[in-house]
Structure 1
Amino acid sequence: MKVGDIVVRKSYNRDIIFKITGFSNDSENGRVAILKGVAFRLIADAPLDDLEVINEDNIKNVVIDKNVESLLYRSVREAKERQKRMTRGIPKLQSSSNVYGIPGKVLQIDGDKEYLKICLDVYTELGIPAVGVAIPEASQYKEVRALLEKHKPDILVITGHDAITSKKGSIKDINNYRNSMNFIKSVKEARKWQPDLDSLVIFAGACQSNFEQIIKAGANYASSPGRIMIHALDPVFIVEKIACSRIDMVVPIEEVIEQTITGYKGVGGSETRGKFRWAMPRLI
Protein backbone atom coordinates (compact mmCIF):
# COMPACT_ATOMS: atom_id res chain seq x y z
CA MET A 1 0.00 0.00 0.00
CA LYS A 2 1.13 3.54 -0.71
CA VAL A 3 0.17 7.14 -0.06
CA GLY A 4 -2.78 8.06 -2.26
CA ASP A 5 -4.38 4.60 -2.27
CA ILE A 6 -8.17 4.55 -1.81
CA VAL A 7 -9.12 2.05 0.91
CA VAL A 8 -11.85 0.81 3.25
CA ARG A 9 -11.55 -0.71 6.74
CA LYS A 10 -12.63 -4.35 6.93
CA SER A 11 -13.27 -4.17 10.70
CA TYR A 12 -15.84 -1.39 10.14
CA ASN A 13 -17.68 -3.34 7.42
CA ARG A 14 -16.13 -1.12 4.73
CA ASP A 15 -18.48 1.71 5.73
CA ILE A 16 -16.31 4.70 4.80
CA ILE A 17 -13.98 5.31 1.87
CA PHE A 18 -10.58 6.73 2.86
CA LYS A 19 -7.42 7.90 1.18
CA ILE A 20 -4.04 6.96 2.69
CA THR A 21 -2.13 10.15 3.51
CA GLY A 22 0.85 8.64 5.36
CA PHE A 23 2.17 5.90 7.60
CA SER A 24 3.37 5.60 11.21
CA ASN A 25 3.97 3.03 13.93
CA ASP A 26 1.58 2.25 16.78
CA SER A 27 2.54 1.75 20.46
CA GLU A 28 3.62 -1.82 19.70
CA ASN A 29 5.70 -0.69 16.72
CA GLY A 30 3.19 -2.07 14.28
CA ARG A 31 2.74 -0.34 10.92
CA VAL A 32 -0.45 1.74 10.61
CA ALA A 33 -1.84 3.93 7.83
CA ILE A 34 -3.01 7.51 8.39
CA LEU A 35 -6.39 7.90 6.69
CA LYS A 36 -8.46 10.80 5.42
CA GLY A 37 -12.16 10.39 4.63
CA VAL A 38 -13.03 10.89 0.97
CA ALA A 39 -16.64 11.99 1.42
CA PHE A 40 -16.53 12.78 5.14
CA ARG A 41 -14.28 15.23 7.00
CA LEU A 42 -12.76 12.54 9.19
CA ILE A 43 -9.19 11.50 9.96
CA ALA A 44 -8.32 8.07 11.37
CA ASP A 45 -5.63 5.41 11.42
CA ALA A 46 -5.73 1.65 10.95
CA PRO A 47 -3.40 -1.37 10.79
CA LEU A 48 -2.40 -2.23 7.24
CA ASP A 49 -3.92 -5.71 7.47
CA ASP A 50 -7.32 -4.12 8.23
CA LEU A 51 -7.31 -2.19 4.95
CA GLU A 52 -8.61 -3.18 1.55
CA VAL A 53 -7.70 -1.19 -1.55
CA ILE A 54 -10.62 -0.28 -3.81
CA ASN A 55 -10.64 1.01 -7.36
CA GLU A 56 -11.87 4.59 -7.16
CA ASP A 57 -10.27 6.98 -9.62
CA ASN A 58 -12.56 9.97 -9.19
CA ILE A 59 -12.86 11.34 -5.65
CA LYS A 60 -15.40 13.95 -6.73
CA ASN A 61 -17.82 11.16 -7.70
CA VAL A 62 -17.57 9.76 -4.18
CA VAL A 63 -18.21 13.14 -2.53
CA ILE A 64 -21.03 14.13 -4.89
CA ASP A 65 -22.96 10.87 -5.13
CA LYS A 66 -26.57 10.62 -6.36
CA ASN A 67 -28.10 11.70 -3.04
CA VAL A 68 -25.79 14.69 -2.70
CA GLU A 69 -26.28 15.62 -6.34
CA SER A 70 -30.05 15.67 -5.75
CA LEU A 71 -29.57 17.98 -2.75
CA LEU A 72 -27.27 20.20 -4.82
CA TYR A 73 -29.83 20.55 -7.59
CA ARG A 74 -32.48 21.31 -5.00
CA SER A 75 -30.32 24.03 -3.48
CA VAL A 76 -29.77 25.66 -6.86
CA ARG A 77 -33.50 25.52 -7.61
CA GLU A 78 -34.47 26.88 -4.19
CA ALA A 79 -31.95 29.72 -4.44
CA LYS A 80 -33.49 30.82 -7.75
CA GLU A 81 -37.03 30.49 -6.37
CA ARG A 82 -36.00 32.49 -3.29
CA GLN A 83 -34.81 35.34 -5.49
CA LYS A 84 -38.11 35.33 -7.41
CA ARG A 85 -40.05 35.57 -4.13
CA MET A 86 -37.86 38.46 -3.03
CA THR A 87 -38.55 40.41 -6.22
CA ARG A 88 -42.31 39.78 -5.90
CA GLY A 89 -42.18 41.52 -2.54
CA ILE A 90 -40.77 44.68 -4.12
CA PRO A 91 -42.73 45.72 -7.26
CA LYS A 92 -40.03 48.12 -8.48
CA LEU A 93 -37.50 45.33 -8.48
CA GLN A 94 -39.87 42.95 -10.19
CA SER A 95 -40.59 45.36 -13.05
CA SER A 96 -37.00 46.50 -13.60
CA SER A 97 -34.60 44.71 -15.91
CA ASN A 98 -31.83 46.87 -14.50
CA VAL A 99 -31.70 45.09 -11.17
CA TYR A 100 -29.17 42.45 -10.18
CA GLY A 101 -28.55 40.42 -7.05
CA ILE A 102 -25.37 40.21 -4.96
CA PRO A 103 -25.03 37.06 -2.82
CA GLY A 104 -22.72 37.18 0.18
CA LYS A 105 -19.01 36.66 -0.49
CA VAL A 106 -17.34 33.58 1.01
CA LEU A 107 -13.82 32.94 2.24
CA GLN A 108 -13.16 29.24 2.90
CA ILE A 109 -10.01 28.17 4.75
CA ASP A 110 -9.70 24.41 4.43
CA GLY A 111 -7.17 21.89 5.68
CA ASP A 112 -7.84 19.72 2.64
CA LYS A 113 -7.06 21.09 -0.82
CA GLU A 114 -9.10 18.40 -2.59
CA TYR A 115 -12.23 19.15 -0.55
CA LEU A 116 -11.59 22.86 -1.04
CA LYS A 117 -11.56 22.53 -4.82
CA ILE A 118 -14.83 20.57 -4.78
CA CYS A 119 -16.44 23.18 -2.50
CA LEU A 120 -15.29 26.04 -4.74
CA ASP A 121 -16.75 24.25 -7.78
CA VAL A 122 -20.09 23.94 -5.97
CA TYR A 123 -20.06 27.62 -4.93
CA THR A 124 -19.62 28.49 -8.61
CA GLU A 125 -22.55 26.26 -9.54
CA LEU A 126 -24.66 27.97 -6.86
CA GLY A 127 -23.67 31.42 -8.13
CA ILE A 128 -21.92 32.39 -4.88
CA PRO A 129 -18.69 34.44 -5.07
CA ALA A 130 -16.01 32.58 -3.13
CA VAL A 131 -12.28 32.40 -2.59
CA GLY A 132 -10.49 29.49 -0.96
CA VAL A 133 -7.14 28.92 0.69
CA ALA A 134 -5.77 25.50 1.68
CA ILE A 135 -3.96 25.72 5.03
CA PRO A 136 -3.24 22.89 7.50
CA GLU A 137 -5.60 23.02 10.48
CA ALA A 138 -2.80 23.74 12.96
CA SER A 139 -1.75 26.85 11.03
CA GLN A 140 -5.14 28.32 10.15
CA TYR A 141 -5.37 30.59 13.19
CA LYS A 142 -2.03 32.18 12.29
CA GLU A 143 -3.27 33.35 8.89
CA VAL A 144 -7.00 33.90 9.27
CA ARG A 145 -6.87 37.61 10.19
CA ALA A 146 -4.59 38.52 7.30
CA LEU A 147 -6.88 36.63 4.91
CA LEU A 148 -9.95 38.38 6.32
CA GLU A 149 -8.28 41.74 5.85
CA LYS A 150 -7.32 40.87 2.29
CA HIS A 151 -10.63 39.42 1.08
CA LYS A 152 -13.18 41.08 3.42
CA PRO A 153 -15.79 38.29 3.14
CA ASP A 154 -19.35 38.24 4.43
CA ILE A 155 -19.06 34.56 5.37
CA LEU A 156 -16.04 32.67 6.69
CA VAL A 157 -15.74 28.87 6.57
CA ILE A 158 -13.00 27.25 8.66
CA THR A 159 -12.79 23.51 8.21
CA GLY A 160 -10.68 20.47 7.39
CA HIS A 161 -10.54 17.18 9.28
CA ASP A 162 -11.19 16.25 12.90
CA ALA A 163 -11.98 13.23 15.07
CA ILE A 164 -12.38 12.17 18.67
CA THR A 165 -9.06 10.54 19.50
CA SER A 166 -10.27 8.16 22.20
CA LYS A 167 -13.70 6.62 22.71
CA LYS A 168 -12.89 6.29 26.41
CA GLY A 169 -12.22 10.01 26.88
CA SER A 170 -14.82 12.64 27.74
CA ILE A 171 -16.38 14.51 24.81
CA LYS A 172 -16.10 17.65 26.97
CA ASP A 173 -12.31 17.39 27.09
CA ILE A 174 -10.95 19.52 24.25
CA ASN A 175 -7.70 17.54 24.36
CA ASN A 176 -9.65 14.50 23.18
CA TYR A 177 -10.05 15.99 19.68
CA ARG A 178 -7.53 16.09 16.84
CA ASN A 179 -8.29 19.59 15.53
CA SER A 180 -11.17 21.16 17.48
CA MET A 181 -8.77 23.40 19.42
CA ASN A 182 -7.30 24.61 16.14
CA PHE A 183 -10.78 25.54 14.89
CA ILE A 184 -11.54 27.31 18.18
CA LYS A 185 -8.33 29.36 17.95
CA SER A 186 -9.15 30.34 14.37
CA VAL A 187 -12.68 31.44 15.28
CA LYS A 188 -11.36 33.55 18.16
CA GLU A 189 -8.85 35.24 15.85
CA ALA A 190 -11.60 35.96 13.32
CA ARG A 191 -13.79 37.49 16.02
CA LYS A 192 -10.97 39.83 17.01
CA TRP A 193 -11.19 41.14 13.45
CA GLN A 194 -15.02 41.31 13.40
CA PRO A 195 -16.91 40.56 16.65
CA ASP A 196 -20.42 41.08 15.24
CA LEU A 197 -22.10 37.77 14.37
CA ASP A 198 -24.21 39.31 11.58
CA SER A 199 -21.40 41.31 9.97
CA LEU A 200 -19.19 38.21 9.65
CA VAL A 201 -20.95 34.85 9.59
CA ILE A 202 -18.70 31.94 10.60
CA PHE A 203 -19.00 28.20 10.11
CA ALA A 204 -16.26 26.11 11.73
CA GLY A 205 -15.59 22.44 12.41
CA ALA A 206 -15.34 19.01 10.80
CA CYS A 207 -16.24 15.41 11.70
CA GLN A 208 -16.92 14.85 15.42
CA SER A 209 -15.71 18.36 16.32
CA ASN A 210 -16.45 19.89 19.74
CA PHE A 211 -19.57 21.81 18.71
CA GLU A 212 -20.19 23.56 22.03
CA GLN A 213 -16.70 25.02 22.38
CA ILE A 214 -16.57 26.21 18.76
CA ILE A 215 -19.91 28.01 19.20
CA LYS A 216 -18.70 29.58 22.47
CA ALA A 217 -15.61 30.82 20.62
CA GLY A 218 -17.87 32.88 18.35
CA ALA A 219 -19.03 30.74 15.42
CA ASN A 220 -22.57 31.16 14.06
CA TYR A 221 -22.63 27.51 12.96
CA ALA A 222 -20.44 24.57 13.86
CA SER A 223 -20.15 20.80 13.90
CA SER A 224 -20.86 18.33 15.38
CA PRO A 225 -23.61 18.32 18.09
CA GLY A 226 -23.93 14.53 17.89
CA ARG A 227 -20.18 13.97 17.42
CA ILE A 228 -20.92 12.29 14.11
CA MET A 229 -19.23 12.50 10.74
CA ILE A 230 -20.27 15.46 8.62
CA HIS A 231 -20.27 15.41 4.85
CA ALA A 232 -17.64 17.39 2.96
CA LEU A 233 -20.34 19.65 1.51
CA ASP A 234 -22.35 20.34 4.69
CA PRO A 235 -20.63 23.75 5.17
CA VAL A 236 -21.45 24.67 1.57
CA PHE A 237 -25.18 24.06 2.02
CA ILE A 238 -25.22 26.21 5.16
CA VAL A 239 -23.36 28.95 3.32
CA GLU A 240 -25.81 28.85 0.40
CA LYS A 241 -28.79 29.50 2.66
CA ILE A 242 -27.12 32.51 4.31
CA ALA A 243 -25.45 33.93 1.19
CA CYS A 244 -28.68 33.84 -0.82
CA SER A 245 -31.12 35.13 1.84
CA ARG A 246 -31.84 38.87 2.13
CA ILE A 247 -29.92 41.01 4.58
CA ASP A 248 -33.16 42.27 6.16
CA MET A 249 -34.31 38.83 7.27
CA VAL A 250 -33.20 36.40 9.97
CA VAL A 251 -32.83 33.01 8.33
CA PRO A 252 -34.80 30.38 10.29
CA ILE A 253 -32.27 28.11 11.96
CA GLU A 254 -34.29 24.96 11.20
CA GLU A 255 -34.26 25.78 7.48
CA VAL A 256 -30.48 26.13 7.51
CA ILE A 257 -29.88 22.82 9.26
CA GLU A 258 -32.52 20.88 7.31
CA GLN A 259 -30.74 21.87 4.11
CA THR A 260 -27.59 19.97 5.12
CA ILE A 261 -26.76 16.32 4.49
CA THR A 262 -26.19 15.20 8.09
CA GLY A 263 -28.86 17.36 9.76
CA TYR A 264 -29.20 18.25 13.45
CA LYS A 265 -26.65 15.71 14.71
CA GLY A 266 -24.08 16.94 12.21
CA VAL A 267 -24.38 20.73 12.44
CA GLY A 268 -26.02 23.38 14.60
CA GLY A 269 -25.92 27.08 15.31
CA SER A 270 -27.89 30.23 15.97
CA GLU A 271 -30.21 32.58 14.10
CA THR A 272 -28.31 34.71 11.61
CA ARG A 273 -29.19 37.42 9.10
CA GLY A 274 -28.89 36.73 5.38
CA LYS A 275 -26.26 38.33 3.14
CA PHE A 276 -28.06 38.80 -0.19
CA ARG A 277 -28.53 42.35 -1.58
CA TRP A 278 -30.36 43.77 -4.55
CA ALA A 279 -28.56 46.47 -6.54
CA MET A 280 -29.21 48.73 -9.52
CA PRO A 281 -28.40 49.80 -12.20
CA ARG A 282 -26.54 46.88 -13.71
CA LEU A 283 -22.80 47.29 -13.91
CA ILE A 284 -21.40 47.80 -17.39
Structure 2
Amino acid sequence: MSFAIGEHVTRASYHHDLLFRIAAISGELAILHGEDIRLAADAPLGDLVRANASEVAKRKKQEKKQEAYSYHLFRQDYQLMKEKRDYQSGHGYDHTAGFFQLPTTVLHIDGDRTYMRKCTELYQRLGLNVHGAYVQEKDMPQEVEALTDSVKPHIVVITGHDAFSQKKGAKSDLGAYHNTQYFAEAVDVIRQKHPRLDDVVIFAGACQSHFESLIQAGANFASSPSRVNIHALDPVYIAAKMAYTPFMEKVSVWDVLQNTLTGEEGMGGVETKGLMRIGMPYTPSDGADD
Protein backbone atom coordinates (compact mmCIF):
# COMPACT_ATOMS: atom_id res chain seq x y z
CA MET A 1 0.00 0.00 0.00
CA SER A 2 1.31 3.43 -0.90
CA PHE A 3 0.98 6.46 1.37
CA ALA A 4 1.30 10.19 0.88
CA ILE A 5 2.64 12.93 3.12
CA GLY A 6 -0.16 14.50 5.16
CA GLU A 7 -2.35 11.40 5.27
CA HIS A 8 -3.92 10.30 8.54
CA VAL A 9 -2.80 6.87 9.73
CA THR A 10 -2.69 4.62 12.78
CA ARG A 11 -0.15 1.96 13.77
CA ALA A 12 -1.26 -1.67 13.83
CA SER A 13 1.52 -2.68 16.25
CA TYR A 14 0.18 -0.19 18.81
CA HIS A 15 -3.42 -1.34 18.32
CA HIS A 16 -4.34 1.91 16.53
CA ASP A 17 -4.11 3.87 19.79
CA LEU A 18 -3.22 7.26 18.30
CA LEU A 19 -4.00 9.21 15.15
CA PHE A 20 -0.95 10.47 13.23
CA ARG A 21 -0.15 12.55 10.19
CA ILE A 22 2.62 11.37 7.88
CA ALA A 23 5.29 14.07 8.00
CA ALA A 24 7.84 12.41 5.73
CA ILE A 25 8.63 9.12 4.01
CA SER A 26 12.13 7.71 3.65
CA GLY A 27 12.26 4.41 1.81
CA GLU A 28 10.03 2.02 3.73
CA LEU A 29 9.95 4.17 6.86
CA ALA A 30 7.41 6.89 7.68
CA ILE A 31 8.02 9.81 10.03
CA LEU A 32 4.83 10.47 11.97
CA HIS A 33 3.50 13.44 13.92
CA GLY A 34 0.62 13.05 16.36
CA GLU A 35 -2.57 14.73 15.21
CA ASP A 36 -3.51 16.02 18.67
CA ILE A 37 -0.49 15.16 20.79
CA ARG A 38 3.05 16.46 20.39
CA LEU A 39 4.63 13.07 19.67
CA ALA A 40 7.18 12.31 16.96
CA ALA A 41 7.43 8.68 15.87
CA ASP A 42 8.59 6.53 13.01
CA ALA A 43 7.09 3.31 11.71
CA PRO A 44 7.50 0.91 8.80
CA LEU A 45 5.02 1.57 6.05
CA GLY A 46 3.79 -1.98 6.47
CA ASP A 47 2.67 -1.17 10.02
CA LEU A 48 0.47 1.73 8.95
CA VAL A 49 -3.26 1.65 8.37
CA ARG A 50 -4.89 4.53 6.57
CA ALA A 51 -7.60 6.20 8.65
CA ASN A 52 -10.72 6.83 6.60
CA ALA A 53 -12.74 10.02 6.83
CA SER A 54 -15.29 8.64 9.28
CA GLU A 55 -12.58 7.36 11.64
CA VAL A 56 -10.80 10.71 11.56
CA ALA A 57 -14.08 12.54 12.21
CA LYS A 58 -14.91 10.24 15.12
CA ARG A 59 -11.55 10.77 16.79
CA LYS A 60 -11.66 14.51 16.22
CA LYS A 61 -15.14 14.68 17.75
CA GLN A 62 -13.88 12.96 20.90
CA GLU A 63 -10.91 15.30 21.00
CA LYS A 64 -13.12 18.37 20.60
CA LYS A 65 -15.17 17.29 23.63
CA GLN A 66 -12.04 17.03 25.72
CA GLU A 67 -10.76 20.39 24.51
CA ALA A 68 -14.14 22.03 25.19
CA TYR A 69 -14.16 20.70 28.74
CA SER A 70 -10.68 22.06 29.41
CA TYR A 71 -11.67 25.43 27.95
CA HIS A 72 -14.76 25.48 30.16
CA LEU A 73 -12.64 24.81 33.26
CA PHE A 74 -10.28 27.62 32.34
CA ARG A 75 -13.13 30.08 31.79
CA GLN A 76 -14.50 29.20 35.23
CA ASP A 77 -11.06 29.73 36.73
CA TYR A 78 -10.68 33.03 34.88
CA GLN A 79 -14.05 34.26 36.13
CA LEU A 80 -13.06 33.53 39.72
CA MET A 81 -9.77 35.38 39.23
CA LYS A 82 -11.62 38.33 37.68
CA GLU A 83 -14.14 38.54 40.54
CA LYS A 84 -11.33 38.39 43.11
CA ARG A 85 -9.37 41.08 41.24
CA ASP A 86 -12.38 43.39 40.93
CA TYR A 87 -13.20 43.01 44.61
CA GLN A 88 -9.65 43.63 45.79
CA SER A 89 -9.19 46.58 43.42
CA GLY A 90 -12.34 48.36 44.55
CA HIS A 91 -12.59 47.23 48.18
CA GLY A 92 -12.69 50.08 50.66
CA TYR A 93 -13.06 52.84 48.06
CA ASP A 94 -16.07 54.80 46.90
CA HIS A 95 -15.38 55.31 43.24
CA THR A 96 -16.89 54.86 39.81
CA ALA A 97 -13.68 54.72 37.79
CA GLY A 98 -13.08 51.64 35.71
CA PHE A 99 -9.92 49.59 35.50
CA PHE A 100 -7.65 48.75 32.61
CA GLN A 101 -5.32 45.82 32.13
CA LEU A 102 -1.85 45.95 30.61
CA PRO A 103 -1.63 43.34 27.85
CA THR A 104 0.59 40.28 28.23
CA THR A 105 2.51 39.29 25.11
CA VAL A 106 3.20 35.65 24.26
CA LEU A 107 5.84 34.46 21.82
CA HIS A 108 4.90 30.93 20.75
CA ILE A 109 7.62 29.09 18.81
CA ASP A 110 6.35 25.82 17.37
CA GLY A 111 7.89 23.06 15.29
CA ASP A 112 4.53 22.15 13.75
CA ARG A 113 2.55 24.49 11.50
CA THR A 114 -0.78 22.77 12.21
CA TYR A 115 -0.32 22.99 15.97
CA MET A 116 0.81 26.58 15.61
CA ARG A 117 -2.48 27.45 13.93
CA LYS A 118 -4.58 25.59 16.52
CA CYS A 119 -2.72 27.22 19.40
CA THR A 120 -3.02 30.69 17.88
CA GLU A 121 -6.78 30.26 17.58
CA LEU A 122 -7.00 29.27 21.25
CA TYR A 123 -4.82 32.19 22.38
CA GLN A 124 -7.18 34.52 20.54
CA ARG A 125 -10.25 32.90 22.14
CA LEU A 126 -8.63 33.46 25.52
CA GLY A 127 -7.95 37.11 24.71
CA LEU A 128 -4.16 36.90 24.65
CA ASN A 129 -1.78 38.83 22.43
CA VAL A 130 0.30 36.18 20.65
CA HIS A 131 3.11 36.21 18.11
CA GLY A 132 3.46 32.77 16.53
CA ALA A 133 6.58 31.53 14.77
CA TYR A 134 7.05 28.23 12.97
CA VAL A 135 10.63 27.06 13.48
CA GLN A 136 11.94 23.53 13.08
CA GLU A 137 13.15 22.18 16.42
CA LYS A 138 16.79 21.88 15.34
CA ASP A 139 16.83 25.57 14.37
CA MET A 140 15.26 26.92 17.56
CA PRO A 141 18.53 27.63 19.43
CA GLN A 142 19.70 29.80 16.50
CA GLU A 143 16.38 31.58 15.93
CA VAL A 144 15.08 32.22 19.44
CA GLU A 145 17.27 35.21 20.32
CA ALA A 146 16.23 37.31 17.32
CA LEU A 147 12.57 36.42 17.85
CA THR A 148 12.69 37.30 21.53
CA ASP A 149 14.50 40.58 20.87
CA SER A 150 11.93 41.53 18.24
CA VAL A 151 8.73 40.60 20.09
CA LYS A 152 9.88 41.41 23.65
CA PRO A 153 7.46 38.90 25.15
CA HIS A 154 6.42 38.33 28.74
CA ILE A 155 5.94 34.61 28.03
CA VAL A 156 7.84 32.36 25.63
CA VAL A 157 6.49 28.96 24.63
CA ILE A 158 9.01 26.63 22.94
CA THR A 159 7.42 23.45 21.70
CA GLY A 160 6.97 21.10 18.78
CA HIS A 161 7.50 17.34 18.62
CA ASP A 162 9.58 15.08 20.81
CA ALA A 163 9.86 11.44 21.87
CA PHE A 164 11.95 9.20 24.08
CA SER A 165 13.56 6.18 22.41
CA GLN A 166 14.75 3.25 24.52
CA LYS A 167 16.90 2.16 21.60
CA LYS A 168 19.00 5.33 21.98
CA GLY A 169 19.59 5.13 25.73
CA ALA A 170 18.18 5.43 29.24
CA LYS A 171 15.60 7.99 30.32
CA SER A 172 18.38 9.98 32.00
CA ASP A 173 20.33 10.23 28.72
CA LEU A 174 19.49 13.42 26.84
CA GLY A 175 20.67 11.79 23.62
CA ALA A 176 17.74 9.37 23.80
CA TYR A 177 15.29 12.16 23.02
CA HIS A 178 14.40 13.45 19.57
CA ASN A 179 14.37 17.19 20.28
CA THR A 180 14.75 17.92 24.00
CA GLN A 181 18.31 19.10 23.48
CA TYR A 182 17.17 21.79 21.05
CA PHE A 183 14.44 22.97 23.42
CA ALA A 184 16.93 23.15 26.30
CA GLU A 185 19.47 25.07 24.22
CA ALA A 186 16.80 27.57 23.18
CA VAL A 187 15.78 28.09 26.81
CA ASP A 188 19.42 28.66 27.76
CA VAL A 189 19.79 31.32 25.07
CA ILE A 190 16.89 33.28 26.57
CA ARG A 191 18.21 32.90 30.11
CA GLN A 192 21.58 34.31 29.10
CA LYS A 193 19.82 37.66 28.59
CA HIS A 194 16.96 37.22 31.07
CA PRO A 195 18.35 35.16 33.94
CA ARG A 196 15.51 35.82 36.41
CA LEU A 197 12.61 33.38 36.20
CA ASP A 198 10.11 36.20 36.66
CA ASP A 199 11.55 38.41 33.91
CA VAL A 200 10.41 36.13 31.11
CA VAL A 201 8.22 33.11 31.84
CA ILE A 202 9.19 30.10 29.71
CA PHE A 203 7.39 26.88 28.88
CA ALA A 204 9.43 24.31 26.97
CA GLY A 205 8.94 20.76 25.79
CA ALA A 206 6.67 18.37 23.95
CA CYS A 207 5.67 14.70 24.25
CA GLN A 208 7.96 12.63 26.49
CA SER A 209 10.54 15.43 26.75
CA HIS A 210 13.35 15.28 29.33
CA PHE A 211 11.68 17.45 31.97
CA GLU A 212 14.67 17.79 34.28
CA SER A 213 17.03 19.20 31.67
CA LEU A 214 14.48 21.81 30.57
CA ILE A 215 13.97 23.03 34.14
CA GLN A 216 17.73 23.09 34.71
CA ALA A 217 18.14 25.16 31.55
CA GLY A 218 15.82 27.78 33.02
CA ALA A 219 12.26 26.92 32.00
CA ASN A 220 9.53 27.84 34.49
CA PHE A 221 7.33 25.03 33.22
CA ALA A 222 8.16 22.02 31.10
CA SER A 223 7.18 18.55 29.99
CA SER A 224 7.22 15.64 30.67
CA PRO A 225 7.94 14.48 34.26
CA SER A 226 6.56 10.97 33.64
CA ARG A 227 7.66 10.90 29.98
CA VAL A 228 4.05 10.74 28.80
CA ASN A 229 2.46 12.38 25.79
CA ILE A 230 1.10 15.92 26.10
CA HIS A 231 -1.75 17.52 24.25
CA ALA A 232 -1.05 20.07 21.54
CA LEU A 233 -2.93 22.81 23.40
CA ASP A 234 -1.56 22.32 26.93
CA PRO A 235 1.16 25.01 26.63
CA VAL A 236 -1.54 27.57 25.81
CA TYR A 237 -3.40 26.98 29.07
CA ILE A 238 -0.18 27.35 31.05
CA ALA A 239 0.54 30.66 29.31
CA ALA A 240 -3.02 31.87 29.91
CA LYS A 241 -2.92 31.02 33.61
CA MET A 242 0.27 33.05 33.99
CA ALA A 243 -1.11 35.95 31.94
CA TYR A 244 -4.29 36.32 34.01
CA THR A 245 -2.77 35.90 37.47
CA PRO A 246 -1.97 39.23 39.22
CA PHE A 247 1.75 39.98 39.42
CA MET A 248 1.61 40.24 43.24
CA GLU A 249 0.50 36.61 43.47
CA LYS A 250 2.56 33.50 42.94
CA VAL A 251 1.09 30.66 40.93
CA SER A 252 1.51 27.22 42.38
CA VAL A 253 2.35 24.44 39.97
CA TRP A 254 -0.91 22.67 40.74
CA ASP A 255 -2.92 25.81 39.92
CA VAL A 256 -1.25 25.90 36.53
CA LEU A 257 -1.75 22.23 35.74
CA GLN A 258 -5.33 21.69 36.82
CA ASN A 259 -6.83 23.05 33.58
CA THR A 260 -4.44 21.29 31.20
CA LEU A 261 -5.49 18.20 29.30
CA THR A 262 -2.42 16.25 30.42
CA GLY A 263 -2.04 17.07 34.11
CA GLU A 264 0.87 16.51 36.46
CA GLU A 265 2.25 13.42 34.72
CA GLY A 266 2.88 15.43 31.58
CA MET A 267 3.62 18.88 33.01
CA GLY A 268 5.59 20.34 35.86
CA GLY A 269 7.43 23.46 36.91
CA VAL A 270 8.32 25.90 39.67
CA GLU A 271 6.34 28.57 41.49
CA THR A 272 6.25 31.74 39.43
CA LYS A 273 4.79 35.21 39.87
CA GLY A 274 1.74 36.13 37.82
CA LEU A 275 2.01 38.68 35.02
CA MET A 276 -1.25 40.62 35.00
CA ARG A 277 -1.11 44.29 35.99
CA ILE A 278 -4.17 46.51 36.27
CA GLY A 279 -4.45 50.28 36.51
CA MET A 280 -7.03 53.00 36.83
CA PRO A 281 -8.86 55.01 35.79
CA TYR A 282 -9.98 53.54 32.48
CA THR A 283 -10.36 56.31 29.90
CA PRO A 284 -11.85 54.99 26.65
CA SER A 285 -10.71 56.70 23.49
CA ASP A 286 -13.44 58.48 21.55
CA GLY A 287 -11.25 59.08 18.54
CA ALA A 288 -11.25 62.83 19.04
CA ASP A 289 -8.12 64.93 18.66
CA ASP A 290 -6.52 66.37 21.78
Q: Fold conserved (TM > 0.5)? A: yes
Alignment partners' CA distance in 2, 1:254 and 1:130: 24
Corresponding letter in the other structure for 1:140: M
Alignment partners' CA distance in 2, 1:62 and 1:121: 18
CA positional deviation for 1:276: 0.8
Alignment partners' CA distance in 2, 1:10 and 1:282: 61
Alignment partners' CA distance in 1, 2:65 and 2:102: 30
1:113-152 alignment to 2 at 5 Å? 113-152=113-152
SS in 2 for 1:171: coil
Alignment match, 1:282? 283
Picking from 51, 55, 79, the partner of 1:54 is 51
Gaps of 5+ in 1: 26-30
Corresponding letter in the other structure for 2:72: Y
Alignment match, 2:13? 11
CA positional deviation for 1:68: 1.6
Deviations, residues 58-115 of structure 1 (Å, cap 9, x unaligned): 7994695201211112212321331121110121699545312235211000001110
1:43-122 alignment to 2 at 5 Å? 43-56=40-53, 61=60, 64-91=63-90, 96-122=96-122
Deviations, residues 145-184 of structure 1 (Å, cap 9, x unaligned): 1111111111000000000123572111111111000001
Alignment partners' CA distance in 2, 1:13 and 1:99: 54
Corresponding letter in the other structure for 2:68: E
CA positional deviation for 1:130: 0.9
Report the CA distance shift for 1:39/1:62 in structure 2 as closer, same or farther (over 3 A). farther
Q: Please tell me whether residue 176 in structure 1 is matched to residue 173 in structure 2.
A: no
Alignment match, 2:157? 157
Of stretches 232-241 and 203-212 in structure 1, the one that deviates more from structure 2 is 232-241
Alignment partners' CA distance in 2, 1:118 and 1:243: 19
Report the CA distance shift for 1:122/1:58 in structure 2 as closer, same or farther (over 3 A). farther
SS in 2 for 1:264: coil
Flag the structure with larger Rg.
2
Alignment match, 2:22? 20
Q: Please tell me whether residue 190 in structure 1 is matched to residue 187 in structure 2.
A: no
Aligned partners of 1:40 and 1:207 also within 8 Å: yes
Of stretches 120-129 and 163-172 in structure 1, the one that deviates more from structure 2 is 163-172
Percent of pairs with identical residues: 39
Pairwise CA RMSD: 2.0
Alignment partners' CA distance in 2, 1:227 and 1:244: 28
Gaps of 5+ in 2: 286-290
Of stretches 100-109 and 141-150 in structure 1, the one that deviates more from structure 2 is 100-109
TM-score, with structure 1 as normaliser = 0.92
Report the CA distance shift for 1:141/1:68 in structure 2 as closer, same or farther (over 3 A). same
TM-score, with structure 2 as normaliser = 0.91
1:245-264 alignment to 2 at 5 Å? 245-264=245-264
Aligned partners of 2:168 and 2:176 also within 8 Å: no
